[in-house]
Amino acid sequence: METWWRALTFTLGYNTSVVTLGAMLLAAGAGMVGTFVLLRKRALVSDAISHATLPGLALAFILVGLTTGDGRYLPALLLGAAASAAIGLWAVQSISDHTRLGEDAAIGAVLSTFFAVGVVLITVIQSMAVVGQSGLTGYLVGATAGMLASEAKLIAACALGLLAAVLVLRRQLLLVCFDADFARTQGLDTGRLDLVLLLLLMAVVVIGLKVTGLILIVALTIIPPVAARFWTDQPMRMVALAALLGALSGYLGVTLSSVREGLPTGPLIVLSAFGLFMVSFLFSPRRGVLASLLAYRRLRRRVHLRQGLLALAREEPIFDDLTLTLLCRRGHIRRDGVATSAGLAAARDADHEERLWALYRERYPDDALHREHAGLVPIHEVLSPDAIMALETQLLGRREVVR
Amino acid sequence: MPDDARLDKAILASPLAIHGLTVSYDHRPVVHSVDFVTPPGSMSAIIGPNGAGKSSLLKAALGITRRLTGDVRVFGRPYAQMTRHVAYVPQRNSVDWDFPARVIDVVVMGLFRDLRWWQFGGRGQRRRAMQALTRVGMEAFAERQIGQLSGGQQQRVFLARALVQEADLTILDEPFAGVDAATETAIVEVLKSLRDEGRTLLCVHHDLATVRDYFDHVLLLNVRRIAAGPVDQAFTEANLQATYGGRLSSVQLARLVEPALAAREH
């Protein structure tokens, strides 16, 4: 617990602090790029990219290992990973472009094939006399514990570049995500922008290999944006929020993993992100489960109360328990079901309002359509006094005609 | 030919001149060698049966989809140089309305070329977007999430996004599809006011009954160009028959081309 606190406050030593910051920047970048990828409805592409890094990673390890005796040279490994990820991306793209298969099928095929090749290469490595083999598993599930400060700085620098690129391109990317046809009429090369977005995604995956590992990096590009969606309806805020939530998960995950030797970083970051997602999912005031549950209950009570009052006004019997309870609690009826004088007055009001709403719906059908729950809320909360007066006059006129 | 000079002049003045445009999907031409010179300051309709290639023609002209052959000129110059002069209102159902955006965000997208990357949408942008929203009667909805709008309101938001561009030519793909009567009237009013400012409008249109009321020029299309010109001259029984084949009854046709007859029956 105390170690975690020291990690959280950046007092566990220079190395841990640099690694934490690097991971946070990476996760922020992943959240931003992930938001655009998600809005472009291509979230699964990152899964294909990440699995396609393994063969390149393993090959680079073999080549570096054969020349220097130790395969753990981060820049070379990242380059190898990027190269094979690019080949994987190209494969996905050409399968979905030139065949009748959809992108999802192409992703599934490429993902598994590349991963299989990577696993075979890893068994080859295990039979070789090269130092640093244990370091390779770190690329599967992430390991920041043994990370050098220089490696962390490389990751941080790349992540910063990524953030800058997204910042510059944010408006174009947004336009392509929302309405690609319109973007093209504005003179944007949407094909190239899609490619740029995929390259950014590839950069996230490759940089993140050492931090979360290749299996779990996909979570960092999907979970923070999805969680951010619960809190806002504005596109740029969603991007910023996804970056923030990503950085927060990176912070929590890396500091947690520094508590004890051998704790895998990737799963801890992903679990932190999932925790933030659950909080958003449950407690967001806009789209959260709790909020919509409460709103549903409020609406149901309102409908029951309304129906009860209208039944009182029309002197119809009431059988529903909830309606009776609600009416009784508000003093509209006595325990034995007989209406009080206050209840009768309220019932007359409700009946009158119902007539006003009915008239409103009849006169202005289009407007009524756009008002939420028109007829359930008191009419003076929605319409202006003038509009209500006009309706009252019309209602009065109509009644006289009937007489 | 003596007409050559006059034709060139017409193309130079036209906000959208299409020449020999062919579009094909899977080796099947959906638009075949179509010529159309949009008269400046007009309100033109493209009409034709389903699958006649109306939307494909526009999309290919705007460079959204690839064209097999053909030349597209905006005021005599290639479209790629002139994108600023053209605004496009796509079909409403072509986007995901659950996208995280408010009405104002969508309208500001129309101004995207006026903003550099270091600028964070200024007050001026917002003001222009609000003006466009007021013009389509949607100013009260600026902060609404776009998914909460009705179909007619969504269409008006798209129109507002085109309005902020202040383009010389506005191209609309079925702007009246699936909207309520009030919205249709509102949109027509805005379009007519644009034409009165001297701007040009080109619409893919479905409802033959309103062609005479809304438009002054018409292109009848069924893969090939059947006829084009002022409504009085081109919107004739023979041309409609040729465009729609046997799909219109003679009574329908007679009503469409002779509005006086339809009026008398009411």
Residue-wise pLDDT tens digits, B150-175: 888 999 999 999 999 999 999 999 99
Mutate one of B84, B105, B166 to test the A interface: name it (highest A CB count within 10 A): B105
Q: Hey, are the CB atoms on B112 and A186 less than 8 Å from each other?
A: yes
User: Using CB atoms, which residue from A167, A179, A234 is nearest to B100?
Assistant: A234
DSSP state of A131: B
Measured over the CA atoms of residue B212, residue B214, residue B216 and residue B217, the dihedral's sign is negative
* Tokens (6 digits) for B112: 């995207």
- What are residue B72's DSSP bridge partners? B18
Give the distance, in angstroms, between the CA of residue B151 and the centroid of all CA atoms in the same chain.
18
User: And the tokens for A276?
Assistant: 């933030």
Where residue A342 falls among pLDDT bands split at 50, 70, 90? Answer: confident
Could you tell me where the DSSP H helices lie in A284-364? 289-313, 321-329, 341-363
Count Cβ atoms within 10 A of the Cβ of residue B164 and give its class: 0-12 exposed, 13-18 middle, 19 or more buried. Answer: buried
Residue-wise pLDDT tens digits, A115-165: 999 999 988 888 887 777 777 777 887 777 677 888 888 889 988 999 999
State the residue for tokens 């690129």: A165
Cβ pairs bridging A and B (under 8 Å): 72
Residue B112 is nearest to which of A171, A184, A369, comparing CB atoms?
Answer: A171
Distance from CA of A82 to the nearest CA of B (A): 28
pLDDT in tens, B2-11: 456 666 788 8
| CB pair distance less than 8 Å for A235 and B99 | yes
> Cβ A170–B117 below 8 Å, yes or no?
yes
Instruction: Please state the length of chain A.
Output: 403
Taking the model in full, what pTM does it have? 0.86
The answer to whether B85 touches B15, Cβ cutoff 8 Å, is yes
pLDDT at B2: 47
Cα nearest neighbour of A231 on chain B: B100
Q: Which residue has the higher pLDDT, B221 or B182?
A: B221
ipTM, 2 dp:
0.89
Handedness of CA B180, B185, B188, B193 (dihedral sign): negative
- What is the predicted pLDDT for the residue at A375? 63
* Closest of B179, B227, B173, B170 to residue B201, by C-alpha: B170
Cβ neighbourhood burial of A254 (10 Å; 0-12, 13-18, 19+) = buried
Instruction: For residue A238, list chain B residues with Cβ-Cβ distance below 8 A.
Output: 100
In this model, does residue B80 exceed pLDDT 90?
Answer: no
Distance of CA B11 to the CA centre of its chain: 19
Binary contact (A185, B145; C-beta < 8 A): no
Q: Among the residues of A127-189, which ranges form H helices?
A: 134-141, 149-178, 180-185
pLDDT score recorded for residue B1 = 41
pLDDT digits (tens, 9 = 90+) for A380-400: 777 778 888 888 888 888 777
CA distance B105 to B145: 9
The pLDDT score that the predictor gives to residue A157 is: 92
Q: Per-residue pLDDT for B236 more than 90?
A: no
Distance in Å, alpha carbon of A168 to nearest chain B alpha carbon: 5
> Which residues on B lie below 8 Å from A369 (Cβ)?
150
Quick check: A110 and A46 in contact, CB under 8 A? no
Residues of A in contact with B90 (CB under 8 A): 179, 181-182
Q: Which of B87, B140, B113, B95 is nearest to A172 (CA)?
A: B113
What does DSSP say about strands B77-78 and B224-230: parallel, antiparallel, or unpaired?
unpaired
Poorest-pLDDT segment among A53-57, A176-180, A367-371, B103-107: A367-371
Residues of A in contact with B87 (CB under 8 A): 185
**pLDDT cut 90: percent of chain B above it:** 46
Find the residue in A nearest to B141 (Cα).
A370
Summarize the confidence of residues A83-94 as an average pLDDT. Answer: 93
- Is the pLDDT at A402 greater than 70? The verdict is no
Nearest CA in chain B to A38: B99
Distance of alpha carbon A53 from alpha carbon A203, whole angstroms: 11
Closest residue on chain A to B86 (Cα): A185
- Residue A76 Cα distances to A5, A72, A73, A160, B141, angstroms: 35, 9, 6, 20, 54
Q: Which of B95, B170, B180 to mutate to test the interface with A (most CBs of A within 10 A)?
A: B95
Q: Taking CB atoms and an 8 Å limit, are B90 and A175 in contact across chains?
A: no
Instruction: Tell me the pLDDT tens digit for each residue of A173-219.
Output: 999 999 999 999 988 899 999 999 999 999 999 988 888 888 889 99
SS3 B25: strand
pLDDT digits (tens, 9 = 90+) for B188-217: 999 999 999 999 999 999 888 889 889 999
Distance CA(B210)–CA(B189), nearest Å, equals 14
Residues A221-253: pLDDT tens digits? Answer: 999 999 999 999 999 999 999 999 999 999 999
Q: Is A165 on the interface with B (CB under 8 A)?
A: no
pLDDT tier at A303, thresholds 50, 70, 90: confident
Look at residue B181 and tell me whether its pLDDT is greater than 50: yes
Read off the pLDDT band of A369 (50, 70, 90). Answer: low
Tell whether A179 lies on the interface with B, counting CB pairs under 8 A.
yes
Contact: A182, B83; criterion CB under 8 Å: no
Residues of A in contact with B102 (CB under 8 A): 233-234
Find, in chain B, the residue whose alpha carbon is nearest to that of A286.
B145
Query: Testing the interface with B: which of A182, A239, A371 to mutate, by most B Cβ within 10 A?
Result: A182
Cα–Cα distance, B219 to B21 (Å, whole number): 14
Identify which of B80, B101, B153 has the shortest CB distance to residue A178: B101
- Binary contact (A184, B63; C-beta < 8 A): yes
How far is the alpha carbon of A365 from chain B, nearest alpha carbon, in Å? 10
State yes or no: pLDDT of A43 exceeds 60: yes
Q: Across the interface, which of A39, A185, A232 has its CB nearest the CB of B64?
A: A185
Instruction: Confirm or reject contact between A170 and chain B (CB < 8 A).
Output: yes
Rounded to the nearest angstrom, the minimum Cα separation between B88 and chain A is 7
The answer to whether A169 contacts B112, with C-beta atoms less than 8 Å apart, is no
Does residue B266 register a pLDDT over 60? no
Torsion over CA of B45, B47, B53 and B57, rounded to 10 degrees?
Answer: -10
Q: Could you say which residues from 369 to 398 on chain A have a Cβ atom under 8 Å away from some Cβ of chain B?
A: 369-370
